[in-house]
């Protein structure tokens, strides 16, 4: 994984950028962090959680989405 | 990357919300889908992470931008709106010392830029400023504390510019002295503006306020006469500000101008009036000019007794510089204005003025400057008699007071020349501003100059380098808050005026102040363009000093080895479908809005009401496929894949919320409950009375005179029905977000035809660019479980690429050392949670908290809104440390979900995590006793008392660490198993595949194409080769698992091959991927007639181009749901609709004339697969729906023909089809995995699929740690989903292996060998094999690493030798005693 982008080192980085802090982004970030990688989780709104945080209960178990 | 400023330091913010309480700006709350409001200072929602508040800002409001002195209009208007008049004046005083003056005389350029003009009319900004100023007595307003400085500054001229400079310099601590030639300070404010416009008391108060800051004013001290610039600098003034204004009148340059005593320049006239040198005017007066001072002079003359006052002006009314209000007032008072009239000569006799000869003019077209030039009309001369003529055509500075010795550069226009940026003259230390550099201008411009001069004088004195040129300055931008489309028109306030009769003979103020109610109303018209108005109320309110309004966006550069894109989706905006009335009728809401309505944290705290009247609806309709499966209103041909499920859920939950029996109806086309346990939920909803109506609703209409809505619909029987509903919910689809194309371009990734990220079935989370993964709804519409699977899959992909650098960028979080509490008496802290209103709405939490204080050893009690919020955790940590707490009780929700969170906090506070007791006053109290608050409160007290009793007896428990074997065992060598093994191997871990058959590939060996027409066999061969070539993977063919022992990190599995050879494999994790099969049905003549096929049989016919399908008039019938969605298997097999339709299309490709019938119950081509369904119909495939109670009948018609009979609900009759073949889409079911499930102690559901740990959030984990699942054994699914799930399983498994060692729980059983009699009862009951028997000592022993702390052993032991740590008999009996004691 050589990065040819000027201004960036070509050395492989042990870090990952996850763009979007909804349920998917958060899960990716958690897995990677738990596997020994540094994660930058980037979210444009002021809080992570995405649409799921707005849901009341979830299908099909009727559990609280929060 | 741009990191947006939060303006509140998250490290300091305690999330107390005090800032939001004082914020005057109300905005639609996005979290509640705009059904409620929030402040500009806010926290997105109670449990938001980060938990700190933040401030939303947009560009500076246009009014503030337009103001020459950039007064913070939005803020002082907002302060008026909320009734904070003193604060409003304080806001004004931050930018100018003249609130009352500017509130009267400012020409309010701000109002011209007001965006309210797009709605109705500008906010009456000046009137509001004046209102605020009039409410506050400046004499009572304390002046700010100032840190004094030694340096002195001299200001020449006490007009608005000079005084403003003095004010700001004084605020900066300088010693300021103002020199004024006139007897009183104020300059033109006092001597130029008549008293009826600006009462002197207002001006005097403002000047007094400036003086209170320590500004000294020397009157009757004129430049050139009493002082010179040189003198001042010699005397030690560090700088001089020259603000002497423009007092010298322009000449008319007409005959007779200087001949008569009664021709008086306007400045002189007004000055004399103020000095009482002129107290009376009589006869006829002519004023020449069209500016403010012309109108002023005319109205003053009138008030002093003039009989007839005329104004002549060369241009028309439109060109007049005077304000419209002023001109109107003058006309009302009886002043005549002669437009387009120019003076020619002034005449008289014997030195006595007689009048003025004038000429009429015509105006040219506007020139380049936009002004129209007056041209005299020859022959139009006329004469106006006059006893007094007042030319008011402008002034210029009188610079005779400057001596050449002062050396100040003057322009050819007789203005002082300054650096346009700093206002410094050519002479260092001498600055100039106001009219002396611009010629006559407005007060606000003079104020701006004074403010700027004060700044640069300060910089100059402090020895800073001043800019030499006027910079362009930063553009202030026009990104403002959107004006709501439904913004109501509201009339602008009209301030009352003094009656004309009372005006003309007094100098009483003409414009009167608006009243408080009108002012607040007017202020509330403000559109809050800049969002945060920077009133700084929050700064004062914040005790933590966390707010920094000067925070700035930051550009951040990060270096990463891989990228995962998960930007999510946008909701379809249904307002584009006119006929659904969305946005036009309050009771038509989107499904997300309805989620918020149902939510306890929503706009109505979970009370089910409709928006129009906040009354509980009795009948609600859901309309499905809004913005999905729709290429007419939008280009969303795909199925959104989630709406059927959420609509059913909303209907079920809504019924639960309703007190009076809610009727719910879902209008749908196909019910697509295709996932695990989805169909069962659908069946249950039907049982619970949710009504399902199969049709697409065309329109929703208003019912006049009511808030209800009418839906007209046509069902399969063709009859039109009309039905009334209280509320309509639109099940809106998922769309790629609007910003996706830009994002895709930035990253160079490809998108599909709908703008979702393009991926292949075999690489479901990889984009077209290596190193960039995608997951979630960005890749296509999907539900939460699949999003989570993909997320883990994407993580797996990234982790595989970066395996060599794992761990190079992470640091371990140091844990604080555990406090030794031995010997300390219990000091218990009790935290009682409101859980929003979940608990607090029923249980009287303050009462429970008060009660807790009375319990033994409780030294601290606190009530929380949400105990689980991040700020509450931080607070808990602090409280533990500050109060030396050593036992913690939380009365809140379920320990199952929240105990680990609180325990983490205990650890971070240095407490052993087992010194924690949680009691559930929500699920087991407020939720079940919601109708009886008294009893619920008492029960909460009981529960808290019990918890405290146990807490008193809690002891710290030790945990131990065990190494993890860095390898995984994968059971099943199909696609899922191989992908999972590769996922582990490529991340650097050993993997073993155990496959029962003698080849790898599993079920996929029979599959030819994916639904996207990709070649499965080629992929499979490549995959097998990759697996075989990977050094870290060992494949065990013809082998089966015989025994499993051990636990997470340390499994030992025994496998046996077909030769009976056994092998033991040590592994840290296990992944079960044993797959599934399709049933062989005993209906529809399967196995009895050669032309009845199943699944891939038809693919073989297609591949072979069999005669059966190529012959003319060939007819094929597909029967769907064979064995699925029936009582025996109440689930959808998910892949059959897509497969049959794909096959149908392939048949059409080969033989376009072929007759193809698909007999189905619901077509479930979810997501983008809907395109196939669409294509099949377009290609002439005939779809006939059948229902379970009228299944099709297949009969033999010779050896090569079949007769299929089916009831068609649309034709309302039986249809008989002569078919050449029948293909059955038979159910998928798992097989041969029950023993394995038992060995790994993982559960099966009633359909024998393995049950994951959490349906939504842990879709590939088991409750049994270290064991994972993927592929069809979880549930039927297509190849792409199996691959994603397999990668997800590998990712989840790697999170275990990457830890290197695991920590065992402290809650484990312990056997007292002294009392154990060796009966082995415990050994028998232990489901985890965690107890061994010591043959020599005849006692049982616990293996702590295997013990799950279930307590079965403890309950079984007849000699009470087994004790479960953390749940000792003493602790449990203490709880029982407490509950029985009352």
pLDDT at A2: 41
Q: Among B636, B916, B987, B650, which Cα is nearest to B780's?
A: B636
Under an 8 A CB cutoff, do B771 and A61 touch? no
Name residue B152's beta-bridge partners.
B175
Name residue B725's beta-bridge partners.
B709
Set of chain B residues whose Cβ sits within 8 Å of the Cβ of A45:
44
Between residues 1 and 60 of chain A, which touch chain B (CB distance below 8 Å)?
Answer: 1, 8-9, 12-20, 22-29, 31-38, 40, 42, 44-60
Kindly write down the DSSP assignment for every residue of B719-767, as one continuous string: -EEEEEESEEEEEE-EEE-TTHHHHHHHHT--B-TTSSBP--SSSTTB-
**What single-letter DSSP state applies at residue B968?**
E
Set of chain A residues whose Cβ sits within 8 Å of the Cβ of B566:
18-20, 22, 24-25, 28
CB B71 within 8 A of CB B96: yes
CB atoms within 10 A of CB B505: 11
d(CA B62, CA B729): 38
**What single-letter DSSP state applies at residue B992?**
E
**What single-letter DSSP state applies at residue B1179?**
T
Set of chain A residues whose Cβ sits within 8 Å of the Cβ of B47:
53, 66
Set of chain A residues whose Cβ sits within 8 Å of the Cβ of B775:
24-25, 27-28
What's the pLDDT band for A7 if we cut at 50, 70, 90? very low
Nearest to B49 among A12, A47, A54 (CB): A47
Mutate to test the interface with B, among A24, A43, A47 (most CBs of B within 10 A): A24
Under an 8 A CB cutoff, do A52 and B1292 touch? no
pLDDT at B717: 85
pLDDT at B1327: 78
Residue in chain A nearest B642 by alpha carbon = A59
Single pTM value for the model: 0.85
Under an 8 A CB cutoff, do A56 and B1291 touch? no
**DSSP 3-state of B1206:** strand
d(CA A38, CA A48): 18
Nearest to A46 among B6, B562, B795 (CB): B6
Under an 8 A CB cutoff, do B653 and A62 touch? yes
Kindly write down the DSSP assignment for every residue of B1268-1333, as one continuous string: EE-GGGTS---HHHHHHHHHHHHHHHHHHHTTSEEE--S--EEE-TTT-----HHHHH-TT--EEE
Q: End-to-end CA distance of chain B, in Å?
A: 62
CB B451 within 8 A of CB B168: yes
Q: Among B1278, B1174, B1156, which Cα is nearest to B1223's?
A: B1156
Residue in chain A nearest B984 by alpha carbon = A35
Alpha-carbon gap: B1129 to the closest alpha carbon of chain A (Å): 17
Under an 8 A CB cutoff, do B808 and A55 touch? no
Q: Among B1135, B68, B33, B1183, which Cα is nearest to B669's?
A: B1183
Alpha-carbon gap: B621 to the closest alpha carbon of chain A (Å): 19
Mutate to test the interface with B, among A2, A3, A12, A31 (most CBs of B within 10 A): A31
Q: Among B1273, B1302, B1293, B1271, which Cα is nearest to B800's?
A: B1293
Q: Is B250 on the interface with A (CB under 8 A)?
A: no
Residues of chain B with pLDDT under 50: none
**What single-letter DSSP state applies at residue B32?**
G
Under an 8 A CB cutoff, do B795 and A32 touch? yes
Set of chain B residues whose Cβ sits within 8 Å of the Cβ of A13:
559-561, 802, 805, 809
Residue in chain A nearest B683 by alpha carbon = A60
Alpha-carbon gap: B808 to the closest alpha carbon of chain A (Å): 6
d(CA B103, CA B198): 9
Token pair of B625 as six digits: 């496929």
Under an 8 A CB cutoff, do B807 and A53 touch? no
Q: In Å, how far are B769, B774, B1117, B1209 from B759, measured between CA atoms? A: 10, 9, 32, 39
d(CA A22, CA A25): 5
Set of chain A residues whose Cβ sits within 8 Å of the Cβ of B771:
1
Report how many Cβ contacts below 8 Å link chain A to chain B. 214
Under an 8 A CB cutoff, do B568 and A20 touch? yes
Q: Is B6 on the interface with A (CB under 8 A)?
A: yes
Under an 8 A CB cutoff, do B47 and A22 touch? no
* % of residues, chain A, pLDDT over 70: 85
pLDDT at B1177: 97
CA dihedral sign, ordered B648, B652, B657, B660: positive
Mutate to test the interface with A, among B798, B1253, B1284, B1292 (most CBs of A within 10 A): B798
Mutate to test the interface with A, among B50, B790, B795 (most CBs of A within 10 A): B795
Name residue B1333's beta-bridge partners.
B1340
Set of chain A residues whose Cβ sits within 8 Å of the Cβ of B1291:
31, 35
Q: What is the dihedral of CA A48, A49, A50, A56, to 10 degrees?
A: -150
Residue in chain B nearest A47 by alpha carbon = B49
CB B348 within 8 A of CB B255: no
Spell out where chain A has E strands. Answer: 15-19, 38-42, 57-58, 63-64
Between residues 968 and 987 of chain B, which touch chain A (CB distance below 8 Å)?
Answer: 987
Q: Is B565 on the interface with A (CB under 8 A)?
A: yes
**Long-range contact set of residues B543-547: C-beta below 8 Å, sequence gap at least 24:** B543/B16, B543/B18, B544/B12, B544/B13, B544/B14, B544/B16, B545/B12, B546/B8, B546/B9, B546/B11, B546/B12, B546/B13, B546/B14, B546/B52, B547/B7, B547/B8, B547/B9, B547/B19, B547/B55
Mutate to test the interface with B, among A10, A60, A61, A62 (most CBs of B within 10 A): A60
**DSSP 3-state of B1013:** coil
Q: At what angle do helices B845-852 and B933-951 cross, to 10 degrees?
A: 30
Under an 8 A CB cutoff, do A1 and B801 touch? yes
Q: What is the CA angle B128-B129-B135, rounded to 5?
A: 90
Token pair of B512 as six digits: 């009167």
Question: Which phi and psi (to 5°) does residue B1177 adopt?
Answer: -65, -40
CB B1229 within 8 A of CB B1272: no
Name residue B1072's beta-bridge partners.
B971, B1269
d(CA B924, CA B1271): 37
When computed from its CA atoms, the radius of gyration of chain A, rounded to whole angstroms, is 16
Under an 8 A CB cutoff, do B795 and A27 touch? yes
Under an 8 A CB cutoff, do A16 and B568 touch? no
Residue A4 has pLDDT above 80, yes or no: no
Name every residue whose Cβ is closer than 8 Å to that of residue B1191 and which is 6 or more positions away in sequence: none
Q: In Å, how far are B771, B946, B1193, B1319, B1349 from B1364, measured between CA atoms? A: 49, 18, 62, 18, 7
β B216-218/B175-179 pair status: parallel
Stated as kind and residue range, the H or E segment containing B664 is strand B663-668
Under an 8 A CB cutoff, do B563 and A16 touch? yes
CB B592 within 8 A of CB B622: no
Token pair of B595 as six digits: 């989620």
Under an 8 A CB cutoff, do B561 and A15 touch? yes
Question: Which phi and psi (to 5°) does residue B709 adopt?
Answer: -130, 150
Interface pTM, i.e. ipTM: 0.92
**DSSP 3-state of B91:** helix
């Amino acid at each position: 994984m050589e990065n040819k982008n000027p201004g960036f080192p070509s050395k492989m980085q042990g870090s990952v950028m996850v763009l979007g802090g909804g349920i998917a982004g958060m899960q990716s970030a958690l897995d990677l962090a738990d596997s020994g990688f540094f994660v930058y989780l980037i979210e444009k709104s002021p809080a992570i959680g995405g649409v799921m945080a707005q849901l009341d209960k979830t299908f099909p178990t009727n559990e609280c989405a929060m | 990357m741009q990191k947006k400023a939060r303006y509140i330091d998250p490290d300091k913010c305690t999330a107390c919300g005090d800032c939001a309480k004082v914020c005057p700006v109300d905005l639609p709350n996005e979290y509640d889908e705009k059904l409620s409001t929030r402040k500009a200072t806010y926290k997105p929602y109670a449990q938001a992470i980060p938990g700190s508040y933040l401030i939303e800002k947009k560009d500076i409001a246009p009014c503030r931008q337009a103001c020459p002195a950039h007064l913070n209009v939005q803020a002082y208007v907002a302060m008026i709106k909320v009734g904070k008049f003193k604060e409003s004046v304080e806001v004004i005083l931050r930018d100018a010392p003249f609130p009352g003056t500017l509130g009267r005389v400012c020409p309010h350029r701000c109002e011209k830029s007001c965006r309210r003009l797009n709605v109705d009319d500008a906010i009456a900004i000046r009137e509001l400023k004046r209102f605020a100023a009039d409410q506050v007595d400046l004499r009572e307003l304390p002046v700010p504390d100032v840190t004094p400085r030694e340096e002195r500054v001299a200001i020449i001229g006490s007009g608005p510019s000079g005084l403003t400079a003095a004010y700001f310099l004084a605020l900066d601590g300088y010693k300021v002295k103002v020199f004024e030639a006139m007897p009183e300070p104020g300059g033109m404010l006092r001597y130029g503006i008549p008293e009826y416009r600006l009462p002197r008391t207002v001006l005097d108060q403002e000047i007094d306020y400036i003086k209170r800051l320590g500004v000294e004013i020397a009157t009757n001290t004129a430049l050139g006469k009493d002082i010179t610039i040189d003198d001042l600098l010699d005397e030690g003034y560090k700088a001089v500000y020259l603000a002497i204004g423009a007092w010298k009148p322009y000449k008319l340059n007409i005959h007779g101008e200087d001949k008569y005593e009664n021709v008086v320049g306007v400045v002189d006239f007004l000055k004399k009036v103020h000095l009482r040198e002129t107290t009376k005017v009589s006869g006829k007066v002519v004023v020449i000019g069209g500016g403010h001072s012309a109108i002023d002079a005319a109205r003053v003359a009138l008030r002093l007794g003039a009989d007839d006052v005329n104004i002549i002006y060369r241009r028309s009314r439109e060109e007049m510089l005077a304000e419209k209000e002023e001109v109107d007032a003058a006309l009302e008072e009886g002043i005549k204005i002669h437009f387009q009239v120019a003076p020619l000569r002034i005449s008289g006799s014997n030195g006595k003025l007689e009048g003025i000869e004038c000429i009429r003019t015509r105006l040219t077209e506007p020139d380049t400057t936009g002004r129209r030039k007056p041209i005299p009309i020859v022959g139009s001369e006329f004469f106006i008699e006059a006893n007094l003529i007042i030319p008011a055509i402008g002034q210029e500075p009188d610079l005779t007071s400057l001596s050449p010795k002062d050396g100040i550069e003057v322009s050819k226009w007789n203005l002082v020349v300054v650096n346009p940026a700093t206002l410094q003259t050519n002479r260092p230390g001498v600055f100039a501003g106001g009219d002396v550099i611009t010629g006559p201008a407005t007060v606000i411009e003079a104020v701006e100059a004074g403010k700027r001069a004060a700044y640069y004088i300060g910089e100059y004195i402090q020895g800073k380098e001043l800019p030499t040129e006027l910079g362009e300055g930063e553009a202030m931008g026009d990104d403002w808050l959107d004006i709501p489309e439904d913004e109501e028109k509201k009339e602008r306030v009209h301030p009352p005026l003094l009656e004309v009769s009372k005006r003309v003979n007094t100098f009483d103020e003409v414009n009167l102040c608006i009243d408080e109610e009108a002012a607040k109303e007017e202020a509330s018209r403000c559109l809050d363009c800049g969002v945060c108005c920077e009133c700084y109320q929050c700064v004062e309110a914040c005790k933590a000093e966390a707010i920094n309004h000067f925070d700035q966006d930051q550009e951040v550069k990060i270096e990463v080895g891989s990228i995962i894109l998960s930007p999510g989706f946008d909701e379809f905006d249904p307002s584009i479908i006119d006929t659904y009335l969305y946005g036009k009728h309050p009771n038509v809401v989107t499904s997300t809005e309805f989620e918020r309505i149902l939510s306890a944290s929503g706009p109505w705290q979970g009370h089910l009401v409709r928006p129009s009247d906040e009354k509980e609806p009795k009948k609600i309709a859901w309309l499905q496929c809004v913005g999905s499966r729709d290429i007419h209103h939008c280009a969303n041909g795909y199925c959104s894949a989630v709406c059927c499920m959420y609509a059913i859920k909303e209907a079920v939950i809504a019924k639960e919320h309703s007190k009076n029996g809610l009727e719910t109806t879902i209008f749908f086309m196909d019910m697509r409950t295709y996932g695990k346990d989805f169909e069962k939920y659908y069946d249950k909803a039907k049982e619970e009375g949710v009504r399902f109506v199969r049709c697409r609703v065309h329109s929703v209409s208003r019912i006049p005179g009511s808030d209800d809505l009418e839906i007209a619909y046509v069902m399969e029987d063709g009859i039109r029905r009309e039905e009334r509903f209280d509320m309509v919910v639109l099940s809106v689809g998922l769309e790629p977000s609007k910003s996706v194309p830009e994002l895709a371009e930035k990253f160079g990734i490809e998108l599909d035809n709908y703008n979702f990220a393009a991926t292949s079935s075999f690489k479901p989370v990889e984009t077209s660019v290596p190193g960039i993964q995608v997951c979630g709804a960005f890749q296509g519409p999907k539900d939460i479980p699949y999003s989570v699977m993909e997320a883990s899959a994407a993580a797996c992909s990234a982790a595989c690429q970066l395996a060599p650098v794992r761990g190079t960028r992470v640091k371990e979080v140091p844990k604080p050392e555990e406090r030794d509490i031995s010997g300390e008496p219990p000091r218990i802290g009790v935290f009682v949670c409101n859980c929003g209103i979940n608990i607090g709405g029923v249980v009287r939490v303050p009462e429970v908290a008060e009660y807790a204080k009375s319990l033994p050893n409780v030294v601290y009690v606190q009530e929380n809104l949400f105990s689980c919020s991040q700020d509450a955790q931080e607070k808990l940590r602090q409280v533990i440390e500050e109060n030396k707490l050593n036992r913690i009780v939380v009365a809140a929700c379920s320990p199952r979900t929240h105990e680990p969170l609180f325990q983490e906090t205990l650890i971070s506070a240095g407490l052993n995590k087992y010194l924690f007791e949680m009691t559930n006053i929500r699920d087991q109290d407020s939720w079940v006793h919601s109708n009886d608050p008294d009893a619920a409160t008492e029960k909460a007290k009981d529960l808290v008392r019990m918890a405290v009793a146990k807490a008193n007896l809690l002891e710290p428990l030790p945990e131990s660490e065990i190494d993890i074997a860095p390898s995984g065992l994968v059971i099943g060598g199909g696609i899922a198993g191989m992908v999972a093994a590769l996922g582990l191997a490529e991340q650097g871990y050993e993997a073993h595949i155990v496959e029962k058959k003698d080849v790898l590939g599993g079920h996929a060996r029979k599959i030819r194409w994916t639904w996207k027409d990709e070649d499965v066999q080629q992929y499979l061969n490549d995959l097998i080769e990759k697996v075989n070539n990977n050094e870290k993977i060992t494949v065990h063919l013809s082998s089966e698992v015989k025994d499993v022992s051990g636990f997470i990190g340390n499994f030992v599995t025994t496998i046996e091959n077909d030769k009976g050879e056994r092998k033991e494999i040590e592994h840290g994790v296990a992944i079960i991927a044993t797959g599934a099969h399709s049933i062989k049905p005993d209906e529809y003549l399967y196995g009895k007639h050669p032309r009845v096929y199943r699944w891939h049989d038809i693919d073989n016919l297609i591949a072979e181009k069999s005669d059966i399908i190529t012959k003319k008039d060939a007819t094929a019938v597909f029967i769907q749901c064979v064995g699925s969605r029936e009582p025996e298997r109440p689930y959808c097999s998910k892949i059959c609709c897509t497969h049959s339709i794909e096959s149908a299309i392939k048949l059409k490709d080969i033989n376009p004339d072929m007759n193809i019938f698909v007999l189905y119950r619901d077509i479930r081509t979810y997501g983008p697969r809907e395109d196939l369904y669409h294509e099949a119909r377009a290609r002439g495939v005939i779809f006939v729906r059948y229902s379970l109670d009228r299944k099709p009948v297949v009969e033999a018609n010779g050896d090569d023909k079949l007769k299929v009979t089916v009831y068609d609900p649309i034709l309302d009759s039986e249809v008989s089809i002569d078919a050449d073949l029948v293909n059955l889409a038979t159910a998928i079911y798992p097989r041969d995995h029950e023993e394995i499930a038992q060995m790994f102690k993982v559960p099966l559901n009633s359909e024998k699929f393995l049950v994951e740990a959490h349906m939504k959030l842990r879709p590939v984990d088991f409750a049994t740690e270290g064991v994972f699942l993927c592929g069809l054994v979880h549930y039927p699914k297509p190849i792409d989903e199996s691959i994603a799930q397999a990668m997800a399983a590998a990712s989840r498994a790697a999170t275990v292996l990457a830890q290197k060692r695991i920590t065992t729980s402290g809650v484990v059983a312990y056997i007292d060998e002294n009392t154990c009699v060796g009966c082995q009862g415990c050994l028998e009951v232990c489901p985890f094999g965690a107890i061994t028997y010591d043959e020599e000592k005849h006692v049982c022993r616990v293996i702590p690493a295997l013990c799950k702390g279930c307590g079965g052993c403890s309950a079984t032991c007849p000699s009470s030798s087994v004790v479960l740590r953390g749940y000792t008999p003493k602790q449990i009996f203490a709880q029982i005693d407490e509950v029985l004691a009352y």
